[in-house]
Amino acid sequence: MIVMKFGGSSVGDGPRIVNVARIVKDTKKPKIVVVSALGGVTDKLVNIATKVVDLPTLVVEKEVDLFYRDILIQHREALEDAVPDRRVLSELLPKIIELLDQLRIGLLGVGYLEDLSPRSMDYITSFGERLSVLVVEGALRSMGVNAVSLTGHEAGMITDSNFGSARPIHSKSRAKVKRVLIPLLKAGKTPVITGFVSGNENAKITTLGRGGSDYTASLLGNYLSSKEVQIWTDVEGIMTTDPRIVREAKPIETLSYVEAMDLAYFGAKVIHSKMIEPAMVAGIPVWVKNSFKPESKGTLIVRDQKRIKSVIKSVTIKKDVALLTVQGVGMAETPNIAGRIFSILGGNSINIPMISGSSESNLSFIVNQGDLEKAVDLIENEIEADGFRGVKVKENVSVITVVGAGMAGTKGIAAKVFSTISKANVNIIMIAQGSSEVNISFVVKDSDSKKAVKALHKRFIK
Ligand code: ADP
Ligand code: ASP
Ligand code: MG
């Protein structure tokens, strides 16, 4: 059994969904299919919810109705293009309209109550995938594949109630997923499951965080001990850098789990950073492939990477981060200040992607831009009494990372990386401490980031 996941760009519209259905149909092994929302739909849902919550009551309904019409047209057109079997079409269209009616009421609720909690946001964004699975189901059934669509929760996945970035409860999910999906597979059915969308123990909708459909796929692969997880996207695998920045970027043949995890964590959007672990612990190979060019090879992620020419395999860029520095003589005099700062941030679900060396008088680290305000407030409250000069914030920065397992045994690689950066006339603001030896990360100004990536790619990628 294999898991096949198709991202938003692969299911962007009717013709693309037909293409996806053909790839699924041509795969003869038993499979489960995981799909994202139609490309751009999750962004649209986030935007409308964020907009209506602040609108004057009088115009809420008008705005929601405009949105309703737009999203209905998009899904109805996709359905009509992807589902030539009129009987299937007439069964699925009412289901789509029913979902859209629920979405409309949800948005009116957000607008009138002027309240958009993470829980409401999960409810609203869940409609993207709940709609797309119906279209993919219809396309498959029109081709004679016995497809059945389910939400992640209906498929057996159970998460905690950390809305917006829910964590799966493995012990409960594993048993339930097997109980639901194995009989379907045995009956010759092809389950089509919502990526990203799941539910908590009270069956309230949760999501796994943006880009989380990849995570759904690898979790299901893990629970069902699948032979393989395939991530179908719009590029030919994981590339040597973001192809939108460097045109010469090439697909990488093989990566280790650790390399892939670092790449994703430090900005390669092509896979979600959490998706590697469930595959890694079960030793399941992950393929990243291009749905627009199914014949091209793609990238294979496994435990042992092959030796290749380049010590550095890929260069990544992580944007939308800010650099925080806590300064003051209090650093030296206050015991465990770093521990206190990190635990207060961690306790409030604020992730720290990168830490630089702390000295007696300062401590620097990176937070995601979205967490910045909260992080600064929390730290200021925590250290107020201890004689600190406060927290210095530097925005508009990016983290650049070079990744490659070959770096571990190669002398002088860091020096070469930094001299390449300096030759490109780019100033390094901060260097990460104690990396996994599979990566080197550093911070530069946003405006220098592309220059840095291009210089590194040119120098190191063979
Ligand atoms: P999907 O809709 O299939 O989930 P995403 O948009 O999430 O696709 O991820 C694919 C995109 O990731 C690519 O179009 C590419 O622009 C971007 N990307 C960034 N870094 C890399 C990389 N190193 N290799 C491949 N793609 C990358
Ligand atoms: N549709 C969700 C998003 O856009 C999940 C995903 O595509 O992986 O974030
Ligand atoms: Mg994605």
User: According to the 3-state scheme, what is the secondary structure of 198-263?
Assistant: EEECCCCEEECCCCCHHHHHHHHHHHCCCCEEEEEECCCCCECCCCCCCCCCCECCEEEHHHHHHH
Going by alpha carbons, the residue nearest to atom 4 of ligand 2 is 42
pLDDT for 121-168, tens place per residue?
999 999 999 999 999 999 999 999 999 999 999 999 999 999 999 999
Percent of the chain, pLDDT > 70?
95
Q: What is the pLDDT of residue 326?
A: 87
Task: Answer whether 462's CB lies under 8 Å from 309's CB.
Answer: yes
The average pLDDT across 269-286 equals 97
Indicate the SS3 state at residue 431.
Answer: strand
Whose Cα sits closest to atom 8 in ligand 2? 211
Ligand 1: residue whose CA is nearest its atom 5: 270
Residue 375, SS3 per DSSP? helix
pLDDT of residue 405: 86
Residue 244 CB less than 6 A away from ligand 1: yes
Ligand whose nearest atom lies closest to the CA of 6: 1
Query: Would the CB of 42 count as within 6 Å of ligand 2?
Result: yes
Please enumerate in sequence order all residues whose Cβ is within 8 A of that of 241, keeping only pairs 6 or more positions apart, or say none.
Answer: 249, 314, 315, 316, 317, 453, 457, 461
Alpha carbons 17 and 23: distance in angstroms, whole number: 10
Q: Which two tokens stand for residue 378?
A: 């929390």
pLDDT digits (tens, 9 = 90+) for 235-251: 999 999 999 999 999 99
**Alpha carbon distance 399, 403 (integer Å):** 13
Give residue-wise pLDDT tens across range 345-402: 999 989 898 888 666 678 899 999 999 999 999 998 887 766 666 789 999 999 999 9
Question: Helix %, strand %, coil % for the chain, to 5?
Answer: 45, 20, 35
Nearest CA-CA partner of 421 in 396, 395, 402, 393? 402
Residue 462 makes CB contacts below 8 A (sequence gap 6+) with 309, 310
Ligand nearest to the CA of 237: 1
Task: Report how far residue 348's alpha carbon sits from residue 351's, in angstroms, rounded to the nearest whole number.
Answer: 9
User: What is the structure's pLDDT at 305?
Assistant: 65
Averaged pLDDT for residues 423-427: 96
* Ligand 1 touching residue 37 (CB < 6 A): no
- Please choose, from the candidates 158, 278, 166, 303, the residue with its C-alpha nearest in 3D space to the C-alpha of residue 222: 278
Confirm or reject: Cβ of 173 under 6 Å from ligand 1.
no
Rounded to whole angstroms, what are the CA distances from 19 to 15, 187, 244? 6, 25, 24
404, amino acid identity: G
- Helices then strands, each counted (H, E), the chain: 14, 16
Using left for φ > 0, alpha for ψ between -120 and 50, and beta otherwise, residue 424 falls in alpha
Torsion angle of alpha carbons 13, 76, 109, 112, nearest 10°?
90
pLDDT at residue number 435: 55
Q: Does the Cβ of 128 fall within 6 Å of ligand 1?
A: no
Answer whether 137's CB lies under 8 Å from 198's CB.
no
* φ/ψ of residue 8, rounded to 5: -55, -40
Query: DSSP assignment of 346-372, as one string?
Result: HHTT----EEPPP-SSEEEEEEEGGGH
**Ligand 1 within 6 A of CB of 212:** no
Atom 5 (ligand 2) nearest CA: 211
Q: Which residue's alpha carbon is nearest to atom 6 within ligand 1?
A: 270
Average pLDDT along the chain: 93
Q: pLDDT tens for residues 183-237?
A: 999 999 999 999 999 999 999 999 999 999 999 999 999 999 999 999 999 999 9
Decide whether any atom of ligand 2 lies within 6 Å of the 195 Cβ.
yes
**Could you tell me the pTM of the whole model?**
0.94
- Left (φ > 0), alpha (ψ -120 to 50) or beta: where does 260 sit? alpha
Question: How far is 410 from 405, CA to CA, in rounded Å?
Answer: 10
- Centre of ligand 3 from the C-alpha of residue 310, in Å: 26
pLDDT of residue 387: 65
Ligand number with the minimum distance to the CA of 197: 2
**348 Cα to the center of ligand 1, angstroms:** 29
Q: How far apart are CA 440 and CA 312, in angstroms?
A: 10
Question: How many angstroms is it from 164 CA to the middle of ligand 2?
Answer: 12
Q: Ligand 1 centroid to 285 CA: how many Å?
A: 19
Residue nearest to atom 9 of ligand 2 (CA): 210
Interval 39-63: pLDDT, tens: 999 999 999 999 999 999 999 999 9
What stretches of 53-199 show up as alpha helix (H) in DSSP?
57-82, 86-113, 118-142, 170-186
Q: Which residue in this structure is represented by tokens 């999960």?
A: 122
Predicted confidence (pLDDT) per residue in 296-329, tens digit = 999 999 997 666 667 899 999 999 899 999 887 6
What one-letter code names the amino acid at 323?
Answer: L
Q: How confident is the model at residue 409 (pLDDT cuts 50, 70, 90)?
A: confident
Written as six digits, the tokens of 44 are 């649209």
- Whether the CB-CB separation of 396 and 357 falls below 8 Å is answered with no
Decide: helix, strand or coil at residue 38: coil
Please indicate whether residue 43, judged by its CB atom, sits closer than 6 Å to ligand 1: no
User: Residue 119: exposed, middle, or buried by beta-carbon count in 10 A (0-12, 13-18, 19+)?
Assistant: middle
Q: Reply yes or no on whether the pLDDT at 169 is more than 70.
A: yes
